[in-house]
């Protein structure tokens, strides 16, 4: 290297050149990513408009409140809507309290040891299990072993198992985001651990918990594979019974 290339001025010029190239690449990357995002949004908007133009004329009140029929002009989706509402409501009742309780225990009360690490790892792995596996589990345990049959209760239990890991993970993340100073201040003022969790930690984590709950319920609402495996009906021309006895009725979504 010559003396002219090792002078402070030359070193400064090379550094400025590298910084300029990095800044140019950063600006270019920003525009590339923005373009990719806009392209995806445009495609979604176009597909949505096309579906709306095609489907809205066929959507009327009779279609929503009528029963399925072999005649296309008379067919409706009433049993599917009621079955979906019934199954989702029961799924939320079964899964969400258990998931939030498990998250509170893991984040606030459980000792930090290898067992807790293993539990968290397994829950994270369960969140990535395909829904068809939960359907097979529901078929083996709820439909056959517990003899619930292809009922609303069996479907809700299967979906509850499916969304439980996801809800636990998001709830744990939401609870962990609550500042430690809130817990320390509450305990310093004489509150018990449970009073601190109930009155301060949970309210602070509630937005994140609700977000995770909405995502989990949305996944359950769009699920078909698990319900088909346990035997959800494809054609029912009757409403599910909104009673405890109706939990054992066949359903469709």
Residues 77 and 55 in one domain: no
- Co-location of 49 and 174 in the same domain: no
176 lies in some domain: yes
If one counts the domains in the chain, the total is: 2
Specify the residue for token string 């495996």.
Answer: 229
Examine residue 186 and state whether it is found in any structural domain, yes or no. yes
- Start-end of H helices in the chain: 8-55, 61-65, 78-104, 114-127, 131-138, 152-176, 180-188, 193-196, 202-221, 225-230
Domain that holds residue 32: 4-59
Note the pLDDT tens digit of each residue in 172-192.
Answer: 999 999 888 888 888 888 888
- For the domain that residue 147 is a member of, what is the CATH number? 1.10.3720.10
Do 77 and 38 share a structural domain? no
Per-residue model confidence as pLDDT tens digits over 12-60: 556 666 777 788 888 888 899 999 999 999 999 999 998 888 888 777 8
Q: Do 92 and 183 belong to one domain? A: yes
CA pair distance 65, 47, nearest whole angstrom: 27
Q: Is residue 67 part of a domain?
A: no
pLDDT tens digits for 231-249? 776 667 677 776 676 677 7
User: Where do we find the tokens 């962990």?
Assistant: 176
DSSP category for residue 177: T
Task: Specify whether 54 is located in the same domain as 92.
Answer: no
Whether the model clears a pTM of 0.85, i.e. scores above it, the answer is no
Give the Cβ contact number of residue 19 at 10 Å: 10
């Amino acid at each position: 290297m010559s003396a002219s290339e090792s002078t402070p001025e030359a070193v400064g010029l090379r550094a400025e050149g590298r910084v300029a190239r990095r800044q140019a690449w950063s600006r270019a990357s920003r525009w590339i990513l923005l373009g990719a995002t806009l392209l995806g949004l445009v495609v979604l908007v176009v597909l949505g408009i096309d579906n709306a133009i095609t489907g809205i004329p066929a959507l009327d009140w009779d279609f929503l409140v009528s029963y399925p029929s072999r005649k296309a002009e008379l067919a409706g989706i009433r049993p599917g809507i009621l079955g979906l509402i019934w199954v989702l409501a029961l799924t939320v009742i079964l899964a969400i309290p258990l998931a939030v309780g498990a998250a509170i225990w893991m984040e606030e009360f459980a000792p930090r040891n290898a067992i807790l690490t293993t539990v968290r790892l397994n829950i994270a792995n369960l969140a990535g299990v395909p829904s068809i596996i939960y359907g097979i589990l529901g078929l083996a345990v709820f439909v056959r072993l517990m003899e619930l049959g292809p009922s609303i209760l069996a479907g809700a239990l299967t979906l509850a198992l499916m969304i439980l890991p996801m809800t636990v993970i998001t709830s744990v993340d939401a609870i962990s985001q609550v500042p430690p100073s809130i817990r320390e201040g509450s305990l310093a003022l004489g509150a018990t651990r449970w009073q601190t969790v109930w009155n301060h930690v949970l309210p602070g984590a509630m937005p994140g918990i609700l977000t995770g709950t909405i995502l989990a319920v949305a996944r359950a609402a769009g699920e078909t594979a698990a319900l088909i495996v346990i035997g959800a009906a494809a054609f029912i021309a009757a409403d599910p019974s909104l009673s405890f006895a109706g939990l054992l009725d066949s359903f469709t979504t």
